[in-house]
């Protein structure tokens, strides 16, 4: 069996998913605030509460999916497979 590799190029504007477990949300929000000037230039995606908190507390535009327990993690996973999301920041 031959080893096959898929090569792809991530564009200058990244599509980044931001996900945090409940007790880690404050750390991710603080990280978003610290990196606001970089993150504002990219497309952001997040699961339920995390997305709402990032929008409210860090002032970033972010597309929210369902909360994790309601399928948000799977929705983001599907977008990764579809090539819509480039990578995930998980805390």
> Would you please indicate which residues are annotated as catalytic (active-site) residues?
73
Backbone angles phi, psi at 3, to 5 degrees: -80, 120
Upper half-sphere CA count for residue 55 (Cβ side, 13 Å): 14
Q: What kind and span of H or E run contains 63?
A: strand 63-65
- Render 19-51 in DSSP notation, one character per residue: E--GGGHHHHHHHHHHTHHHHTTSEEEEEHHHH
């Amino acid at each position: 069996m031959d080893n096959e590799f898929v090569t792809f190029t991530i564009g200058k504007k990244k599509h980044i998913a931001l996900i945090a477990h409940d007790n880690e949300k404050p750390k991710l929000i603080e990280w978003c605030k610290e990196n606001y000037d970089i993150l504002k230039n990219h497309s952001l995606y997040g699961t339920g509460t995390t997305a709402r908190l990032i929008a409210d507390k860090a002032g970033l535009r972010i597309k929210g999916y369902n909360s994790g327990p309601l399928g948000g993690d799977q929705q983001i996973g599907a977008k990764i497979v579809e090539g819509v999301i480039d990578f995930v920041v998980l805390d």
